[in-house]
A and B are shown apart, each in its own frame.
Chain A
Amino acid sequence: MSAIETGRTGASVLASRLRPRATWRGRGVAVKLPPLILGVILAILVLPPFVMLVRSSLVDYAKPDSGLSLINYIRLFEGTDLYRSAFNSVCFSAGATLVSLTFGSVVAWVVERTNAPFRKLAFVTTVVSLGTPAILYVSGWLFLLGRAGPVNAAWRSLTGTFRPLVDIYSIPGMVLIEGLLWVPLVFLLTGTVFKRQNADLEDAARMSGGTVLDTVTKVSLPLAKPALLGLAIFIFIRNLEAFDVPVLVGMPGRVNLLTSDIYLSMTRVPPDVGHASAFAVVMIVLVSILLYFYGKISANADRYASVTGKGFRPRRFDLGGYRWVGGAIILLHFVLVLALPMLAVLWNSLTPFVRTFSVAAFKNLTLRNYSGVLHDPHYLELAWNTVLISAVAASLVIALTAVASWFSVRRWPASGALQQLASLPIVFPGIVLGVAMIQLALRTPFGLYGTVWLIALAFMVRYLPYGMRYAEPAVMQIHRELEEAAGVSGAGQAGIFRHVVLPLSAPALTAGWLFIFLLAAKELSIAVLLASFNSKTLAVAMFDQWTNGNAGEVAALGILWTAAMTCCAALMMAITRGNASVKEV
Chain B
Amino acid sequence: MDARNLTLEVDGLTKLYWSPTSKIPGGGIQPISFRLEPGTFFTLLGPSGCGKTTTLRCLAGLEVPDRGRLALGATTFFDGARDENVPLNKRNIGMVFQSYAIWPHMTVFDNVAFPLRVRREARLGREKVREMVQRALKTVGLDGYSNRSATQLSGGQQQRVALARAIVREPGLLLLDEPLSNLDALLREGMRNELTRLQRQIGITTVYVTHDQAEALEMSDVIAVINAGVLEQLGPPREIYDRPKNAFVAQFMGSTNLLPATLAGAQGGDSTGTVTLDTGETTRLSFPHAVAANSKIAVSVRPEALQIAVAGTVAPEGWNTLGGRITGSGYLGSLMRYSVATAGTTIQAHVAPDRVFNEGDEIALHFPPERTLGLADTARVS
Contact check, A12 vs B89: say whether CB atoms are below 8 A apart.
no
How many B residues have CB within 8 A of the partner chain? 43
Query: Is B357 close to A, CB under 8 A?
Result: no
Q: Which chain A positions have C-beta within 8 A of B165?
A: 485, 489
Query: Of A4, A22, A481, A492, which is within 8 A of B18 by CB?
Result: A4
Contacts A12-B23, A18-B14, A26-B87 given: A487-B103 contact, CB under 8 Å? no
Indicate if B231 sits at the interface (CB-CB under 8 A): no
Give per-residue flags for A468-479: 1 if the beta carbon is below 8 A from chain B beta carbons, else 0: 000000000001
B contact residues around A26 at 8 Å (CB): 87
A11 contacts the other chain (CB 8 A): yes
Question: In the complex, what's the smallest C-beta–C-beta distance from B81 to chain A, in angstroms?
Answer: 13
Write the chain A residue with the least CB distance to B88: A487
Q: How far is the CA of A4 from the CA of B17 in the complex (A)?
A: 9
Whether A5 and B97, one on each chain, are in contact in the complex, defined by CB atoms closer than 8 angstroms, is: no
B97–A487 touching, CB < 8 Å: no
B309 to chain A, nearest CB (A): 49
The answer to whether A5 touches B20 (Cβ under 8 A) is yes
The answer to the question of B118 belonging to the interface, with a C-beta cut-off of 8 Å to chain A, is yes
Q: Determine the distance from Cα of A491 to Cα of B121 in the docked complex, in whole angstroms.
A: 12
A299 to B21, CA, bound (A): 24
Is the pair A481, B99 in contact by a Cβ cutoff of 8 Å?
yes
Q: Does A443 contact B (CB under 8 A)?
A: no
Contact A488 B62 (CB under 8 A): yes
Q: Which residues of A contact B169 (CB under 8 A)?
A: 490
Q: Contact flags (1/0) for B1-40 with A, using CB distance below 8 Å?
A: 0000000000000111111110111000000000000000
Give the complex CA separation of A491 and B88 in angstroms: 9
Chain B residues whose CB sits within 8 angstroms of the CB of A492 once the complex forms: 89, 118
Is A481's CB under 8 angstroms from B101's CB? yes
User: Which residues of chain A in 11-36 are interfacial with respect to chain B, using CB atoms and an 8 Å cutoff?
Assistant: 11-12, 15, 18-24, 26-27
A490 partner, pick from B18, B65, B89, beta carbons under 8 A: B89
Residues in A whose Cβ lies below 8 Å from that of B114: 486, 489, 491, 499
Cross-interface CB contact of B66 among A11, A18, A482, A488, cutoff 8 Å: A18
Chain B residues near A20 (CB-CB < 8 A): 15, 63-66
B89 pairs with A487, CB closer than 8 A: yes
Contact B118 A18 (CB under 8 A): no
Q: If A4-B18, A487-B89 touch, does A24 touch B63 (CB 8 Å cutoff)?
A: yes
Q: Is the CB of A488 within 8 A of B23?
A: no
Q: How many A-B Cβ pairs are below 8 Å?
A: 105
Contacts of A488 in B (CB 8 A): 60-62, 88-89, 91, 93-95
| Contact, CB under 8 Å: A500 / B103 | yes
Partner of B21, one of A5, A481, A486, A495: A5
B119 within 8 A of A: yes
- Residues of chain A from 485 to 538 with CB closer than 8 A to chain B in the complex: 485-492, 495, 499-500, 503-504
Q: Does B76 sit within 8 A of A, measured CB to CB?
A: no
Q: Does A213 make an interface contact (CB < 8 A)?
A: no
Q: How distant is the Cα of A177 from the Cα of B118 in the complex, in angstroms?
A: 57
Closest to A25 in B: B87
Determine if B101 and A24 form an interchain contact, defined as CB atoms under 8 angstroms apart. Answer: no
A2 lies within 8 A of chain B by Cβ: yes
Residue of A nearest to B14 (CB): A18
**Bound: A21/B17 CA distance, A:** 14
B104 in the interface (beta carbon within 8 A)? yes
A488 closest partner in B (C-beta): B95
Closest-CB distance, A74 to chain B (whole angstroms): 46
Minimum distance in angstroms from A78 CB to a CB of chain B: 49
- Chain B nearest CB: distance from A575 CB in Å? 15
* A9 lies within 8 A of chain B by Cβ: yes
Please report the C-alpha to C-alpha distance between residue A500 and residue B89 in the assembled complex, in whole angstroms.
Answer: 15
Among A11, A23, A489, A499, residue most surrounded by chain B Cβ atoms (within 10 Å) = A489
B134 CB to closest chain A CB (Å) equals 18
Determine the chain A residues whose CB is within 8 A of the CB of B62 once the complex forms.
24, 484, 487-488
User: B105 an interface residue at 8 Å Cβ cutoff?
Assistant: yes
Chain A residues near B98 (CB, 8 Å)? 481
Distance in Å: Cβ of A9 to nearest Cβ of chain B: 5
| Complex-state Cα separation, A500 to B110, whole angstroms | 12
Is A9 a contact partner of B23 (Cβ separation < 8 A)?
A: yes
- Of A23, A24, A503, A504, most buried by chain B (CB within 10 Å of CB) is A24
Q: Which B residues touch A23, using CB under 8 A? A: 64
List the B side residues contacting A485 at CB < 8 Å. Answer: 95, 97, 101, 103, 162, 165
Partner of A489, one of B18, B99, B118: B118
Q: Is A37 an interface residue (CB 8 A)?
A: no
Contact B115–A504 (Cβ < 8 Å): no
Contact indicator A481/B20 (Cβ below 8 Å): no
B67 at interface, CB cutoff 8 A? yes
Q: Is A359 located at the chain interface by the 8 A CB criterion?
A: no
> How far is B95's CA from A24's CA once the two chains are assembled, in angstroms?
15
B85 beta carbon closer than 8 Å to chain A: yes
Is A3's CB within 8 Å of the partner chain B?
Answer: yes
Indicate if the CB atoms of B85 and A482 lie closer than 8 Å: no
Question: Which of B16, B21, B24, B61 gathers the greatest number of chain A CB atoms within 10 Å?
Answer: B16
Kindly state the separation between the CA atoms of A24 and B64 in the bound complex, as whole angstroms: 7
B16 in contact with A18 (CB, 8 Å) = yes
Interface string of A442-457 (1 = CB under 8 A from B): 0000000000000000
Closest-CB distance, A269 to chain B (whole angstroms): 57
Complex Cα distance A486/B23, Å?
36
Q: With A and B bound together, what is the CA distance between A11 and B25 in angstroms? A: 9
Residues of chain A within 8 A (CB-CB) of B89 are 487-492
User: Residues of A contacting B16 with CB < 8 Å?
Assistant: 2, 15, 18
Can you list 12 pairs linking A and B with CB atoms under 8 Å apart? A5-B20, A20-B15, A20-B64, A24-B62, A479-B99, A481-B98, A484-B60, A484-B97, A485-B162, A485-B165, A488-B88, A500-B103
Chain B: residues with CB nearer than 8 A to chain A? Answer: 14-21, 23-25, 60-67, 85, 87-95, 97-99, 101, 103-105, 114-115, 118-119, 162, 165, 169
Closest 8 CB pairs of A and B: A485-B101, A18-B66, A489-B115, A481-B101, A481-B97, A491-B118, A20-B64, A3-B20
Given contacts A482-B101, A487-B89, A490-B118, 12 further A-B contacts (CB under 8 A): A3-B19, A5-B20, A15-B25, A18-B14, A22-B85, A484-B62, A485-B97, A485-B103, A488-B62, A489-B115, A492-B89, A500-B103
